[in-house]
């Protein structure tokens, strides 16, 4: 999984393009920790946010929104004084942080660093979101991106199964997907059965 995630980070560096990328995951203790990065500088900058407890990545995790900082010099210093100066000193001018999440399930954050200042264009943003989606899919165990776009019933089913198995949302997602795979059924059909209460999950596998 780590290799796959590193590949996604590298793809971002090539495609966006970016100077470097890092990816952090949320642990059971609800704390973020760095999982992988494309180069030593990115690794250091990724980790630094958690050491300092501030930065675009940290904020993206807290607010559950992307944090896009095209000009760290202009915008970053007032928002994250300690972190921004360290990043600027490392030769990075822009940071773009994307939370990796499906609704209430928080999996991690992916950051892209650029030496030059400037915003991500519309197509670059689209690309970044697609990479974030891919990372979420990998973190959820290799899911295709259908689990991220809906429809509403899919997420309703996740909530229902979460309560049924007395577990987490992530576990609920896994159980639903595993069932669809094992029964060779489309995810959406399984979801509809759950929402229509024709299919219920137990606590035990």
Partner 1 sequence: MTTVSAERLSKIFVEVADTLVDDFDLLDFLHMLTVRTAGLVGASAVGLLLADQRGKLRFMAASDEKARILEILQVQISEGPCYDAYRTATPVINEDLRLAGDRWPEFTRHALAAGFRSVHAFPLRVRREVIGALNVFGSTVGGNFDEADVQIVQALTDTAAIALLQERAIRRGEVLSEQLQGALNSRIVIEQAKGAIAQSLGISIDAAFTVLRGYARRHNRKLTEVAHEVLADPAQLNGLAG
Q: Which residues of this protein are in contact with partner 1, per CB under 8 A?
A: 63-70, 75, 99, 101-104, 119, 125-126, 129-130, 149-152, 154-164, 166, 169, 195
Structure tokens belonging to residue 192? 């509809």
Nearer to partner 1, 83 or 201 (CB): 201
Shortest distance (Å) from residue 187 CB to partner 1: 15
- Nearer to partner 1 by Cβ, of 91 and 151: the residue is 151
Burial 155-188 (b: 16+ CB within 10 A, else e): bebbebbbebbeeebbbbbbbbbebbeeeeeebe
Choice between 7 and 159, CB closer to partner 1: 159
Angle at 82 between CA 5 and CA 73, to 5 degrees: 85
Residue 62 CB, nearest distance to partner 1 (Å)? 11
Closest CB to partner 1 among 152 and 182?
152
For the bound state, the minimum distance from the C-beta of residue 151 to partner 1, rounded and expressed in Å, comes to 5
Residue 180's Cβ-side half-sphere holds a number of Cα atoms within 13 Å equal to: 21
Separation CA 70–CA 115 (nearest Å): 10
Q: State the minimum distance, in angstroms, from the CB of residue 197 to partner 1.
A: 9
Distance from the first to the final alpha carbon of the chain: 23
Q: Which residues contact 186 (CB under 8 A, 6 or more apart)?
A: 180
CB of 3 to partner 1, least distance (A): 26
Residue 46 vs 133, nearer CB to partner 1: 133
89 vs 123, beta carbon nearer partner 1:
123
Shortest gap between Cβ of 40 and partner 1 (angstroms)?
28
Cα separation, 19 vs 77, whole angstroms: 20
| Euclidean distance between CA atoms 8 and 131, whole angstroms | 6
């Amino acid at each position: 999984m780590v290799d796959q995630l590193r590949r996604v980070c590298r793809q971002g560096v090539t495609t966006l393009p970016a100077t470097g990328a890092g990816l952090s995951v949320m642990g059971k203790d609800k704390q973020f920790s760095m999982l992988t990065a494309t180069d030593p500088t990115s690794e250091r900058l990724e980790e630094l946010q958690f050491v300092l407890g501030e930065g675009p990545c940290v904020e993206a995790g807290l607010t559950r929104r992307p944090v896009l900082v095209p000009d760290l010099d202009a915008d970053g210093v007032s928002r994250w004084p300690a972190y921004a100066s360290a990043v600027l000193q490392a030769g990075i001018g822009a940071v773009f942080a994307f939370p990796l999440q499906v609704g209430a399930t928080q999996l991690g954050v992916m950051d892209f660093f650029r030496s030059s200042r400037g915003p991500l264009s519309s197509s670059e943003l689209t690309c970044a979101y697609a990479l974030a989606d891919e990372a979420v899919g990998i973190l959820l165990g290799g899911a295709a991106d259908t689990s991220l776009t809906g429809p509403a019933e899919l997420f309703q089913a996740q909530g229902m199964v979460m309560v049924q198995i007395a577990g987490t949302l992530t576990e609920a997602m896994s159980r639903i997907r595993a069932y669809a795979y094992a029964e060779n059924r489309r995810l959406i059909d399984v979801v509809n059965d759950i929402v229509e209460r024709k299919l219920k999950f137990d606590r035990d596998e």
